[in-house]
Structure 1
Amino acid sequence: MQQLIPLTCFFDSIKRPTAQQISQVKQYFWKTSFSNRYTSGQSNAKMDSDIERIKEIADGESNVFSSYEYTVTENTLINTKFSKANPLTRAFLLLMAQYHPVDLVKNQRVDLGTSLASYNRKEYHHVFPQAYLKSKSVHHDDIFCVLNFCFLSSDSNKAISRKAPSTYFETLVPQDTFTDVLSSNVLPINKTIYQKDDYKTFIDRRASEVVSKIDELTA
């Protein structure tokens, strides 16, 4: 991740950053994470440019990254297959982590240290279970859409297994904290989507939710 070098320069040159400086560097991180800045060529030149802008922050400049824009769209997310080798998947996971996800079944904060570990593949859950979608003849790439994933403990994952959302969102997800639990996972809170096992609407709505969160993080 080439962003690490400009970020290292930031913390090396600014020992006690102000809240405004932290806000600017966060804006830089999220805008570049959800763009093709480092995947569209000339990455070294772009990194050098970013380092120069970091120095401007150290010199007291504001709105240094206002000209940067994220390029991810709802369609981009819908067409992205989950893979930890994919920069967009990694950015998506980090975005999810920002909202302190709560386990859908246990109603407890997910241990992100465990979930984000590179060796751990059991802490990612298909919201619409893989086996369930396969039984409905949903295409493999659609099943593995990045938007169909959330953090979940392996125990809860096993409890859900291949159950249809219309079943497990009713019987396993705590109803008294339903909205809070789903919101913490940036999931649509409309129960009808799950009651109808409406995968397409789920993906479309979640794409919209995620882009809204990107807007918040890059504002």
Structure 2
Amino acid sequence: MAEPFFINDLVQHIVSGNLRIPSFQRGFIWDADRVAHLMDSIYKGYPFGSLLFWRTKTALQTERQLGPFELPENDPDFPIDYILDGQQRATSIFGVFQNQLTASDDQDESWTKIYFDLSAAKDAQDSQFYFLPDDEVDADRHFPLSILLDPPKYRQFLKTMDDSIADQIDELYRRFTTARIPVQTFSTDDRAAVAIVFERINRLGVELDTLQLLSAWSWSDDFDLLEQFNDLSAELGPYGFGDVGEDTDLLLKCCAAIISGDAGPKTIINLSGADVRTRFKEVRTGILGAIDFLRTHLKAYSTRVLPMPNVIVPLSVFFATDKDQNTHPDSDQQKTIINWIWRTFFTRRYSKRLEQLNTDIVEMQKLKDGQAHQLGDFTCSIKPSFFTETAFNVGSTNTKTHILMLASATPLDFLSAGEIALGTVLRDCNRKEFHHVYPRALLESQSMNPKLTNCLVNFCILPRASNNKISAKPPSEYRKLMPEDDATVAGIMSQALCPSDLFDDDFQRFFDTRLDLLVGHAKSLMGIDA
């Protein structure tokens, strides 16, 4: 633990240019009320957190300004302290008390106008500090903190004060000038070590953005990785995968997997800038190819319906190429990849261990190179409980897997027998596009167990308009709204993975029969013998 800072020490450290903000930090986001609350905590001696500095001899090529303040150049003969944790607090303290830097013209600094209410009752909980616009300031009541560490202005203000509040102002001055800010300093020029520190801070609730961290080292003046990923995000947006372009963790895993055959954090942080620049075309084509494969062969028309987005990482390895011609799997490779994806979804393979992702990256490369491989050769099974014990929730992994499985059977509209426009339904993945085969209101009236009513077994894909027409009708009633031809209805039921004798209103028989159909279809998708 380094020596604590007095407030004036912090202000001078920033003004000297030796305390700076790395570009991988978020910008200043606190509002004036939070700044005032911090001032109250300092005044009352409450703990308000420590600052964590990263000390290095090598300046970053890209930095942020401190809130609205453009930082002066640092002395190259002195090391630089970058704020790793506590930027919001440091900026707030500096902004309120400093009097040497001018805010940028396009930046709001109004939040720095924090006042001490001289007439406020002393209370352990309620704050005595407020943000006030100029037209609400009462000079006899509100003391501006901005002059507290500005001797000329402070002395001038004292001359105008009534003696009755002199002691109160003296105590205010004493508390802020003696307040000590806990500081920890972490010294290294090893960027991998910095990344590890950030990762550990992240586990305590501070957002980590490794992409911005890597960009901060500015791999090349003519190559901006953040800009490349933003462009990729814009390209993927119209296809329903804009979220992938915004998922920096996923994109960096794809980079590391394609370039180094490993998607671990240490590999990501140690990526060679030259390799990223020269092989980014491979990364881009790999990601685009992976998403095209998921859309074409699994009908995954958006990330909203993709159970485990990390499948994109090994899949991007297969499609990565620097050639003008895209990579295309042959029939055996295609079957292997599809089986592997379904096995990964049904077993939730990537929910716990990174090692399994890295194993699949290695095996995917072997498949691509025509070598002996074990892609998908892991223990997998499908139990009835997958469908009976999972409540339908479009945000859950199991439900998304169920939805994609239903989509794989090319479902038809119950009423028109027309093919459902899955691109529209699965793009938004709206709850209203999915329907209880046996309506919930019907089963509630029969006092059916809600767990059975709302589990995956009782759900199918059905457009909103038809859903509304069926409403709470029992199957025997909504059968009258369907095509008259029994063969057509049997086809509708088959492609909905439902039994053809659905319409006798026997829920338990429907439940048991459909459960067998779902389990059988899941095994088929995974390439498991029934």
If the length of structure 2 is used for normalisation, what is the TM-score? 0.39
C-alpha distance in 2, partners of 1:72/1:202? Answer: 20
Matched ranges for 1:136-215 at <5 A: 136-169=446-479, 171-176=480-485, 177-189=488-500, 191=501, 193-195=502-504, 197-215=505-523
C-alpha distance in 1, partners of 2:380/2:507? Answer: 27
Q: Residues 175, 20 of structure 1: CA spacing in aligned structure 2 closer, same or farther, 3 A cutoff?
A: same
Q: Which moved more, 1:111-120 or 1:157-166?
A: 111-120
Runs of 5+ unmatched residues, structure 2: 1-308
C-alpha distance in 2, partners of 1:208/1:153? Answer: 25
SS at match of 2:318: helix
Is 1:218 the counterpart of 2:517 in the alignment? Answer: no
Q: Tell me how far 1:70 sits from its aligned partner.
A: 3.0
Structure 2 match to 1:16 = 328
Matched ranges for 1:89-128 at <5 A: 89-118=399-428, 120-128=430-438
- Aligned AA (2:423): G
C-alpha distance in 2, partners of 1:77/1:200? Answer: 15
C-alpha distance in 1, partners of 2:468/2:376? Answer: 45
Q: Residues 62, 106 of structure 1: CA spacing in aligned structure 2 closer, same or farther, 3 A cutoff?
A: farther
SS at match of 1:70: coil
Is 1:2 the counterpart of 2:314 in the alignment? Answer: no
SS at match of 1:113: helix
- Aligned AA (1:6): P
C-alpha distance in 2, partners of 1:105/1:208? Answer: 25
Is 1:30 the counterpart of 2:339 in the alignment? Answer: no
- Aligned AA (1:157): N
Q: Residues 55, 119 of structure 1: CA spacing in aligned structure 2 closer, same or farther, 3 A cutoff?
A: closer
- C-alpha distance after superposition, 1:55-92 (max 9, x if no partner): 11012135633522433211221111111221111111
C-alpha distance in 1, partners of 2:372/2:402? Answer: 27
C-alpha distance in 1, partners of 2:398/2:333? Answer: 25
Percent of aligned pairs with the same amino acid? 30
Q: Tell me how far 1:117 sits from its aligned partner.
A: 2.6
CA contact (8 A) 1:27 1:65 kept: no
Max Rg structure:
2
Structure 2 match to 1:132 = 442
C-alpha distance in 2, partners of 1:63/1:103? Answer: 41
Larger strand share, 1 or 2: 2
SS at match of 1:125: strand
- Aligned AA (1:111): A
- C-alpha distance after superposition, 1:172-204 (max 9, x if no partner): 222420111100111112x2x421x22122122
Runs of 4 or more, structure 1, over 3 Å off, are: none
C-alpha distance in 2, partners of 1:33/1:121? Answer: 20
C-alpha distance in 1, partners of 2:318/2:508? Answer: 42
Higher relative contact order (CA 8 A, sep 6+): 1
- Aligned AA (1:213): H
